[in-house]
Amino acid sequence: MCNVTIVDYSVYLPESRIHVKEAIQQIKADGIDFQTSESDYLNRGFELVPIEEELDLEQMIATVCRPILRRALQKNVQIAAVMFASVTNNENVNRNLFDFLIEEFALEAVPVIPLEEYACSTMHLSLWLASNYFMVPCQQGEGILFITADRAMNSYERSDTFMVFGDGASAALFMKGQREGQQTLASVMRVDGLVYDLAPDRIRLYYSTFYLGVRQAVRAALNESSIHIAQIELVFCTNLGLHVWSMLAQVLKVPLERFYNLTLALDGHIHNTDILNNIEHAIRTGLLKHDDFYMTISVGFGGYYGCAIHQYVKEVNELCI
C-alpha cells in the first residue's frame, strides 16, 4: 500500500504564449514533418503554447523549487533525494542545473538523480520510487523532491512530429503519510518500452496499443487502493488531447467529463508538468474539493504508463484527531 503525501508543489509556466498554428508553421518551416494538420490539432483541444523567453532552464528550476525548499526549511523537512525529469533537455553535459539551489539550501550531500527514458511518465516513476523509499522505516521529516523542467531550444525540441510541447517547470515534495496534502493511496508503473528509436513500425505499434498499458496501470492502481472507479471525482491525465482522452475514457469506462480539461487549450502539453499544473488549476478553481478521490494518469511516449489514486485532504480538523 502506497503511503506518500504530496505535501507541497509549485508550478511555473511562462506568460508568453503563441498560437498552436504559429508553432506548427514554425516547426514545419524548420523541416519537421508534423503528422497532423493544423485544424485536426486544434480539434484536439489545443490552442496556445507557452514559450519561455526570459528564464533559462536553471532559473526555471530555481523558480519552482525555492518556495518549496523555503517552506521545507521552516518545517525542518530534510531533503533525502532530488529526482529530476527533463524530456527536452537531456544533454546538459558539463553543466549542473542545480548549482544555485544546492548552494542556497545547503543540499551538497543530497543526491540529485536525473531519471530518463520514461518521458512524460517520469512524474509517476518518481512517485512510485518515493513510495518504495517510504515503505521502509525512515527518519521522520524526510522528503523527496521531484523536479521537472523543459524549455525547447529549437523546433526539434518543440515537437517530436506528433505533438507540440510547451515550456514550463514544476516541483513536488513527497513525504511519508502526512495528514494534510494530496494523499496517494496507490501508485503503479507499467512499462512496455516498445519504442527506443525512430523505427516507424514500433512507433505504430505503440500508438495502436498504448491504451492497453494505461488500462493495466489504472486497474492495478484501483485494485491496490480498493477504490471503485465510480468514486473517482476527477482524472488528471497528461494533456495529450481530446482524441486520446475520449479513447481512454471509453476504455476505462469513465465519463469524459471527469477528465480535467481546463488547462488543455491555454497551456497545452508540457511534458511532466501537465499533471501538477492540472491539480494546481483544479484547486485554484475549486473544482477539486476537500476529501475528493482523484486519479492521475501519465503516458510516456514509447510505452511508459503511470497511474496513482489520490485523495485531497485540504486541512485536518484538529477536533478529529
Partner 1 sequence: MYLTIHHVEAAEGVEMPWVRITDLIETNRHWTEGIDLLCYCHQTDFETGVNGCAKLRQELGLSEVMPISVGQSGSLSLSNALTILDWMFSNGTKNHALCIIADSFIPDHMDKQGSRLSMIALIGASTIAGDYRVESCRKLPSTSVRVGAKSAVEPILKLGLHQSEFTSNREMEVVTFDAGVFGTSQLKLRRT
Q: Which residues bind partner 1 (CB under 8 A)?
A: 81, 84, 90-96, 99, 102, 108-118, 129, 132-133, 135-136, 189, 191-198, 302-303
Question: Taking the complex as a whole, how short is the minimal distance between the CB of residue 91 and partner 1, in angstroms?
Answer: 6
Question: What contacts 176, CB < 8 A, 6 or more positions away?
Answer: 3, 4, 5, 134, 138, 142
Based on CB atoms, which residue is closest to partner 1, 181 or 302?
302
Q: How far is it, in rounded angstroms, from Cα 152 to Cα 239?
A: 17
Quick one: 132 or 209, whose CB is closer to partner 1? 132
Q: How far is the CB of 133 from partner 1 (least distance, A)?
A: 4
The minimum distance between CB 301 and partner 1, in angstroms, equals: 10
CB of 163 to partner 1, least distance (A): 15
Cβ closest to partner 1, residue 136 vs residue 319: 136
Question: Which grid coordinates are listed for 163?
Answer: 505533438
- Judged by CB, which is closer to partner 1: 159, or 263? 159
Measured CA to CA, the distance from residue 78 to residue 106 in angstroms comes to 11
Per-residue buried b or exposed e for 140-163, using 16+ beta carbons within 10 Å of the residue's own CB: eebbbbbbbbbbbeebebbbbeeb
For cell 489545443, what's the residue? 46
**What is the smallest separation between the CB atom of 164 and partner 1, expressed in angstroms?**
18
* AA letter at 280: E
CA 209 vs CA 64, 132, 213, 223, 304: distances in Å = 35, 28, 7, 22, 12
Q: How far is the CB of 97 from partner 1 (least distance, A)?
A: 8
205 or 283, CB closer to partner 1?
205
Give the nearest distance from C-beta 154 to partner 1 in angstroms. Answer: 13
The three cell numbers locating residue 62: 530555481
Which contiguous run of DSSP H or E holds residue 126?
A: helix 122-133
**Residue closer to partner 1, measured from CB, 96 or 285:** 96
242 alpha-carbon distance from chain centroid: 18
Contact 85, 120 (CB under 8 A): no
Q: Which is nearer to partner 1, 22 or 117 (CB)?
A: 117
Contacts of 252 (CB under 8 A, 6+ apart): 214, 215, 218, 229
